[in-house]
Structure 1
């Protein structure tokens, strides 16, 4: 379930949504580091800035999901999506997976807006990634038939480590992580009713 054995072409064919999101991550990162491109302008336009959101720049509730602050940041989040996204894309279907990913990321950013200072700025897809963890927790607790006991142990271990690391690492948007997880659990509990076993 969490071990990728597909070739590159097979992965793109089987999991087009995950592949497209990772492509967006990489392209936006490259655009923010190309010297000839107005990278600072792009980054500043897409990042989450609470003050600008309350002034009407509502796209900043969405765009931070896809932009990252450095190579390690984009690689870690993209790797997490490649690892944990495919099973849910297959289980939920493309449309419901897109809905869930965007919704959890946006809700994490809304929580950041409501609970963090107006001066707070943020980027990264971690809220949406934790949303995926929340869906897996909903599956573990509400639809055990959809996942094997081995995979249940894996996802519970990773979710616990992820939450612990949220509080131990510096410069982490704790609010986005926690509310991504919570929104993923709530939305996941509504979306997994017709999920396919993996």
Structure 2
């Protein structure tokens, strides 16, 4: 599920438009707010940060808007990298609407929990709750929809999630509520969105194809490449685990 065989950034954006747009928003807002420090950018930040006291005063949009904002460049980069690593397979499997529902649904649950369990003076920003929500969807698949995820990918997700859960409790300045309840949110949302979905295929392309059911022949230009890549994918599990852990450590270091 973590094989990346797109030939260019343009192709990645065509295949995974939601993930691409979210990454563009992350980095674009950081540029406007932090690098350029444009007045309207600073206003966006002030209106978007999750501040529990202001939420209690009725500014309920702050239960969603923190997911778009980041404290510094490394925070934005690592969140974006985590999204690029874990988001494409789910976007392809679920489709745009269900993926957005899972992503923002988990973020909303994470931020509601932060509001309920942290003091009124608590402020937060970042997409970590939404990303842990993606872990929740994956873990639900591993537990109850095994046909949707291959064994190697299940191993990668399980290892990275366990390390992330441990690091949540031992690293300072972590929004523990966002991580825990973001994961719970994704896990609870998963059965609502995993009906009638197909397993992820890194060779599937949203272009003109031919289907046997329509009396036409489906041609797969990567049919020989698949046979070579499947064993390689198994051997590269630990490489992806290391990459995922590095992304997670970056994510946990700047919350």
Tell whether the structures are fold-level matches, with TM greater than 0.5: yes
TM-score using structure 2 length = 0.75
Range with greater deviation from structure 2 (163-172 or 29-38):
29-38
2:129 touches 2:181 (CA, 8 Å); kept in 1? yes
Question: What per-residue deviation string (whole Å, max 9, x for no partner) do you get for residues 152-182 of structure 1?
Answer: 1011001111111111222110000000000
TM-score using structure 1 length = 0.97
3-state secondary structure, aligned to 1:119: coil
C-alpha distance in structure 1 between counterparts of 2:142 and 2:36, whole Å: 46
**Alignment RMSD (CA, Å):** 1.1
1:2 touches 1:84 (CA, 8 Å); kept in 2? yes
C-alpha distance in structure 2 between counterparts of 1:16 and 1:35, whole Å: 26
Kindly state the Cα deviation for residue 36 of structure 1 after the two structures are TM-superposed.
5.2
C-alpha distance in structure 2 between counterparts of 1:169 and 1:5, whole Å: 34
Kindly state the Cα deviation for residue 42 of structure 1 after the two structures are TM-superposed.
2.8
Match of 2:184 in 1: 182
C-alpha distance in structure 1 between counterparts of 2:76 and 2:4, whole Å: 19
1:163 aligns with 2:169: no
Match of 2:5 in 1: 5
Kindly state the Cα deviation for residue 40 of structure 1 after the two structures are TM-superposed.
3.7
Kindly state the Cα deviation for residue 70 of structure 1 after the two structures are TM-superposed.
0.7
Match of 2:15 in 1: 14
2:34 touches 2:72 (CA, 8 Å); kept in 1? no
C-alpha distance in structure 1 between counterparts of 2:32 and 2:176, whole Å: 27
Match of 2:210 in 1: none
C-alpha distance in structure 1 between counterparts of 2:163 and 2:103, whole Å: 21
Any stretches of 5+ residues in structure 2 without a counterpart? 201-255
3-state secondary structure, aligned to 2:198: coil
Kindly state the Cα deviation for residue 41 of structure 1 after the two structures are TM-superposed.
3.2
- Change beyond 3 A, Cα 1:36–1:110: closer
